[in-house]
């Protein structure tokens, strides 16, 4: 070591002196404290708690859970009925989703839209079926008419005869002629007014100029009275056929139906909306514009406290107590199919069919007209005549081949301000051919059903960054329509491959997939979920809901058809199983019940979207809370 440099001691580190103080060891009491470590301790949360306590002063007599359930409203809008009620109710209130408004001038009032795609005017000839007694095959069907529509009916009849042959059921000889002769000669029986307790109270006019629900259907003659009777919801979207492109008119009628039902049936007035939360049931395959306008109506226009959106199929599994199922919702206008896996809808399995219970009603009318329906003046554009066919559908229609017989039925026609008339009717296989339209969509004129429908927004304009119009096309739709797609090289850009069609497939995939038979649509939906294991999983848990699920023989008819499709295509395919809904729960209210179950869960507190959230974030705020959007 050089001279002049002293040796450094071992306890010195050579650092200069500083004013830095070494912190003391942490106190364990401080580490275990939660002071100011949660959002509930912030000033904003405390202010919110004070306001909440002030609002709940008048509810102090009730328990906390009952208060929460009492102030939650579940809304399930449909094409024909609006189901609404509190989450604490056992069953919802179901009202016809229709509004009648006074219009000026009266000549501009359109007729109610009941008829959609199978309507045939009176005057069709009765097809002459070959007498089975003169042939070697009693199941043979022969049509002498050259009408293509009659040929389609003959094809459906042949399909029925094949199933009757398989089950070794006899066919009644010349049943159509026997029924036609009886119906043509029948004269109605007049029922006196004092002997008819079910005669409705018909309405000629109303001082308010607005009629909702059952009152709108009791208008004696809407067109002569200057009323426009319209249904604001059609399928999984707004009814732009009757309203045109005026979305505000549609929303005004939706608000009117909800407001009148809450006030008259449930006892909730508009001044109390700020205290109520809403669980809204939305379609599986939704239009973003539909959800945006509906949520904006409930939160901003009507002023409800907060909202949670729930898909129909997922709500149905909640109501049935299932975690995995293939949900088939047969509504009035459309039929939706989707697979649910552990509380989530598989997006690629969603599929919509453009047919439902109304098509069964129309087809039943067409079939009964061919055997001289005894009620000669029937017109499906009138509400009371439509209700006649709806009543016959609910009492006569079946999908059990063993129920086919030449039976005698009766029905009552109640016209405005006239005595009721009781008719007799003979029918044979018409009662099973009508619901078979779900499996034989060749009878439906799908182009006519699409006429005069307008999009809610321009396809090239969007106010949402995350919106993409190709989202409406799912794998289930592509599987169902791939045989129709042109063989176009994939190296071309989408604009060259698909023209103007969404997704660049060269065809309208959504429209073509909506024309599938119901059994094929269910199988393709299960195929889109994965391999053979997934197909077996979902075909053994098929949940059928909606009004047409009540048709006798629906479970067996669907099981047998699905089994015939799946057995040769799926390895080790066991028996297809249709799961019935829980006891004492109608298939029509199962989705509403499931949404009410969601409202009772503690986890729903994480899904609410307030008006302030919606005002700032819009649809993106709903997407953060409801991850399926």
The CATH number covering residue 562 comes to: 3.30.420.40
User: Which pLDDT does position 502 carry in this prediction?
Assistant: 61
Q: pTM of the full predicted structure?
A: 0.84
DSSP for 273-311, please give it. GGG-EEEEEE-SS--HHHHHHHHHIIIIIS--SEEEEEE
User: Which pLDDT does position 12 carry in this prediction?
Assistant: 54
Contact by Cβ (8 Å): 570, 535: yes
Residue 256 lies in a domain: no
User: Which pLDDT does position 269 carry in this prediction?
Assistant: 94
Are 349 and 367 in the same domain? no
445-474 per-position pLDDT tens digit:
888 888 777 777 655 555 554 444 446 789
Residues in the chain predicted with pLDDT less than 70, given as ranges, are 1-20, 29-48, 51-69, 105-137, 143-145, 457-471, 487-499, 501-505, 627-629
- Domain boundaries, position 532: 322-354+472-581
User: Which pLDDT does position 574 carry in this prediction?
Assistant: 85
Residues with Cβ within 8 Å of residue 444, at least 6 apart in sequence? 117, 118, 354, 355, 359, 437, 515
Are 480 and 572 in the same domain? yes
The CATH number covering residue 163 comes to: 3.90.640.10
- Quick one: DSSP state of residue 203? B
DSSP for 384-418, please give it. HHHHHHHHHHHHH----GGG---EEEEEEE--TTS
Q: What angle, 0 to 180 degrees and rounded to 10, lies between the N-to-C axes of helices 518-527 and 532-539?
A: 130
Are 348 and 393 in the same domain? no
Q: What tokens were used for 193?
A: 């007014």
Contact by Cβ (8 Å): 106, 223: yes
Are 424 and 519 in the same domain? no
Residue 259 lies in a domain: no
**Structural domain count, the chain:** 2
Are 560 and 414 in the same domain? no
Are 381 and 517 in the same domain? no
Are 349 and 477 in the same domain? yes
Are 389 and 533 in the same domain? no
Residue 287 lies in a domain: no
Are 438 and 370 in the same domain? yes
Closest CA to 319 of 42, 21, 76: 76
Contact by Cβ (8 Å): 428, 161: no
User: Which pLDDT does position 25 carry in this prediction?
Assistant: 76
Domain boundary among 540, 566, 581: 581
Are 476 and 556 in the same domain? yes
């Amino acid at each position: 070591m050089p001279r002049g440099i002293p040796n450094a001691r071992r306890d010195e580190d050579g650092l200069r002196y500083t004013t830095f103080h070494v912190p003391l060891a942490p106190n364990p009491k401080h580490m275990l404290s939660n002071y100011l470590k949660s959002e509930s301790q912030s000033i904003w949360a405390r202010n919110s708690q004070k306001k909440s306590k002030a609002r709940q002063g008048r509810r102090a007599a009730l328990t906390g859970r009952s208060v929460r359930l009492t102030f939650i409203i579940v809304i399930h809008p449909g094409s024909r009925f609006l189901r609404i009620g509190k989450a604490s109710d056992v069953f919802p209130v179901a009202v016809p989703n229709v509004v009648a408004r006074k219009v000026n001038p009266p000549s501009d009032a359109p007729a109610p839209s009941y008829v959609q795609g199978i309507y045939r005017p009176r005057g069709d000839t009765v097809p002459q079926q070959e007498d089975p007694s003169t042939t070697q095959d009693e199941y043979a069907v022969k049509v002498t008419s050259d009408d293509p529509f009659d040929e389609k009916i003959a094809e459906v009849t042949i399909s029925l005869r094949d199933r009757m042959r398989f089950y070794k059921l006899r066919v009644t000889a010349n049943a159509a002629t026997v029924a036609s002769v009886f119906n043509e000669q029948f004269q109605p029986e007049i029922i006196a007014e004092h002997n008819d307790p079910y005669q409705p109270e018909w309405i000629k006019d109303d001082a308010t100029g607005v009629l909702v629900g059952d009152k709108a259907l009791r208008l004696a003659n809407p067109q002569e009275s200057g009323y426009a009777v319209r249904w604001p919801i059609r399928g999984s979207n707004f009814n732009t056929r009757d309203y045109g492109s005026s979305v505000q008119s549609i929303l005004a009628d939706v608000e009117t139906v909800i407001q009148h039902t809450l006030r008259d049936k449930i006892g909730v007035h508009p001044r109390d909306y700020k205290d109520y939360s809403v669980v809204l049931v939305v379609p599986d395959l939704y239009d973003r514009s539909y959800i945006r306008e509906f949520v904006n109506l409930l939160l901003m226009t009507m002023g409800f406290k907060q909202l949670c959106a729930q898909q129909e199929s997922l709500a149905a599994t909640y109501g049935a107590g299932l975690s995995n199922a293939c949900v088939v919702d047969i509504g009035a206008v459309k039929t939706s199919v989707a697979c649910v896996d552990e509380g989530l809808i598989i997006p690629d399995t969603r599929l919509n069919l453009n047919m439902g219970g109304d098509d069964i009603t129309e087809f039943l009318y067409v079939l009964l007209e061919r055997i001289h329906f005894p009620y000669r003046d029937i017109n499906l554009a009138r509400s009371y005549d439509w209700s006649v066919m709806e009543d016959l559908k609910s009492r006569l229609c079946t999908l059990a081949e063993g129920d086919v017989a030449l039976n005698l039925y009766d029905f009552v026609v109640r016209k405005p301000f006239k005595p009721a008339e009781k008719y007799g009717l003979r029918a044979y296989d018409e009662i099973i051919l009508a619901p078979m339209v779900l499996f034989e969509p060749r009878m439906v004129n799908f182009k006519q059903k699409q006429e005069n429908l307008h999009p809610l927004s321009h396809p090239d304009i969007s106010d949402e960054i995350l919106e993409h119009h190709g989202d409406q096309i799912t794998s289930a739709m592509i599987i169902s329509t791939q045989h129709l797609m042109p063989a176009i090289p994939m190296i071309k850009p989408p604009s060259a491959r698909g023209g103007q069609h969404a997704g660049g497939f060269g065809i309208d995939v959504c429209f073509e997939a909506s024309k599938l038979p119901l059994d094929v649509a269910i199988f393709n939906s299960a195929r889109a979920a994965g391999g053979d294991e997934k197909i077996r999983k979902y075909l053994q848990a098929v949940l059928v809901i909606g009004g047409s699920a009540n048709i006798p023989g629906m479970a067996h008819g669907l099981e047998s058809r699905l089994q015939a499709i799946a057995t040769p295509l799926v390895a080790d395919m066991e028996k297809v199983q249709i799961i019935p809904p829980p006891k004492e729960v109608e298939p029509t209210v199962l989705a509403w019940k499931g949404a009410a179950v969601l409202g009772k869960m503690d986890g729903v507190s994480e899904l609410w979207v307030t008006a302030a959230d919606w005002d700032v974030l819009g649809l993106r705020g709903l997407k953060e809370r409801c991850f399926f959007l």
